A = this chain, B = another copy of it.
Amino acid sequence: MSSANLSPNSQTPTIGVFDSGFGGLTVLRALVDRIPQARYAFLGDTARLPYGSKSRRTIARYAVQSAQFLVREQGAQFLVIACNTASALALDAIQDAVPVPVLGVIEPGAQAARAASTKGDVLVIATDATVQSHAYAAACQALGLRALEKACPLLVPLVEEGWTTHTVTAQVIDVYLSELRAQAAAAGLKPDALVLGCTHYPLLRPLIEQAVTPGVRVIDSAESTAETAFREFGSQFAPAVAGHEPELHFFATDSIEKFERLGSCFLGRPVEHVHLIDLGG
Contacts and interface: CB of A to CB of B under 8 A. Distances in A.
A168 B157 contact: no
Nearest to A55: B255
Contacts of A245: none
Given A168-B172, A168-B175, A175-B168, A254 B54 contact: yes
Q: Which of A46, A168, A280 has the most CB of B within 10 A?
A: A168
A160 interface: yes
Contacts of A183: none
A158 B168 contact: no
A48 interface: yes
Which 9 pairs from chain A and chain B are nearest by CB?
A281-B281, A157-B157, A55-B255, A47-B58, A58-B254, A55-B254, A54-B254, A280-B281, A153-B161
Interface residues on A, range: 20 to 34
Nearest to A160: B153
A192 B258 CA distance: 33
A256 to B, nearest CB: 9
B154 A161 contact: yes
Interface in A136-163: 153-154, 156-158, 160-161, 163
Interface in A42-62: 46-49, 53-55, 58
Interface in A187-236: none
A171 interface: yes
Given A47-B54, A280-B280, 20 more contacts: A47-B58, A54-B254, A54-B255, A55-B254, A55-B255, A58-B253, A58-B254, A58-B255, A154-B154, A154-B157, A154-B161, A154-B163, A156-B157, A157-B157, A167-B171, A168-B171, A168-B172, A171-B171, A279-B281, A280-B281
Contacts of A158: 154
Nearest to A156: B157
Q: Count identical subunits in the complex.
A: 2
A153 B154 CA distance: 11
A120 B77 CA distance: 61
Nearest to A47: B58
Q: Which of A46, A54, A171, A253 has the most CB of B within 10 A?
A: A54
Q: Which of A58, A171, A175 has the most CB of B within 10 A?
A: A58
Nearest to A151: B161
A55 to B, nearest CB: 4
A47 B49 CA distance: 9
A269 to B, nearest CB: 24
A35 B53 CA distance: 33
A47 B55 CA distance: 8
Nearest to A56: B255
A163 B152 CA distance: 12
